Amino acid sequence: MIRLHGYWRSTAAWRVRLALAAKGLAYDSVAVNLLDNEQRGQGHLALNLQGLVPVLEHDGVVLTQSLAIIEYLDELFPDPPLLPADPANRARARAAALIVAAEVHPLGNLRVQRWLRSEMGQDDAAVSGWLHHWMADGLAALEAMAQQFGGRCLIGDDISIADLALVPQLYNARRFNLSLTRYPRLLDCEAMVAKQPWAGITRPEVQAGSV
């Protein structure tokens, strides 16, 4: 049995939903409302000491961090693979996913935005400028990677962990009104994922708790 704890608009949780859907894995979804700070409740902290989402439970195993979860699922349920067979492209796919998960997303998530406002006294315009700067920086690097190493997808021709990280980040960019016209290859990769029959059920607006 698989249980996924997440927030409907969490891009990290969306990455895991995409992996589960791509592999056709059924799971129970547990909604964690980040706006109400449910992630800081004792029940959730018992699963994730950082008080973050997502959390994956599987047969007594509790895992955190979206990319680690995706690789765990890929090892247990290898069809279809979410990492390229070629070692160099496998490393590139991981690197692309990390650009999102380690370089871009952490600088713009909810707790950072709250800190910029409450502790640094920044207004909406300043926070927006911060978000745009770091998202554009990461997306530019991914666009260059797609141009150099991509085919139909960000790395090569098959959907990989890199694409699963990219799609939610593009959603976030649109949410914060960042123009994506400079990233045509990334938009092609997003379209490749979107046309998969399993992709629609992972979108934020169809998750429990969405508003």
124-162 pLDDT, tens per residue? 999 999 999 999 999 999 999 999 999 999 999 999 999
Q: What is the pLDDT of residues 81-139, one digit of tens each?
A: 999 999 999 999 999 999 999 999 999 999 999 999 999 999 999 999 999 999 999 99
- Token digits for 105? 């997303």
Q: How far apart are CA 22 and CA 29, in angstroms?
A: 16
DSSP code of residue 156? B
Q: Closest by alpha carbon to 105, among 192, 149, 188, 170?
A: 170
Which is it for the CA torsion 200, 204, 209, 211, positive or negative?
negative
Q: How far apart are CA 193 and CA 170, in angstroms?
A: 12
Instruction: Give the model's pLDDT for residue 209.
Output: 86
**Unique residue bearing structure tokens 């000491």:** 49
CATH number belonging to the domain at 2-80+198-206, selected among 3.30.70.360, 3.40.30.10, 3.40.50.300, 3.40.250.10 = 3.40.30.10
Domain boundaries, the chain: 2-80+198-206, 87-194
- CB–CB of 12/69 below 8 Å? no
∠ CA 74-137-143, nearest 5°, is: 60
Tens digits of per-residue pLDDT, 165-209?
A: 999 999 999 999 999 999 999 999 999 999 999 999 999 999 988
Q: How far is it, in rounded angstroms, from Cα 185 to Cα 193? A: 13
CATH domain 87-194 topology:
Glutathione S-transferase Yfyf (Class Pi); Chain A, domain 2 (1.20.1050)
Dist CA 188 CA 151 (whole Å): 10
Q: How far apart are CA 125 and CA 11, in angstroms?
A: 22
Which sign, positive or negative, has the C-alpha torsion 179, 181, 185, 188?
positive
**Contact assessment for residue 67 and residue 98, using Cβ atoms and an 8 Å cutoff:** yes
67 class by beta-carbon count within 10 Å (0-12 exposed, 13-18 middle, 19+ buried): buried
Q: With 90 as the cut, is the pLDDT of residue 38 above it?
A: yes
pTM of structure: 0.95
13 near 66, Cβ under 8 Å? yes
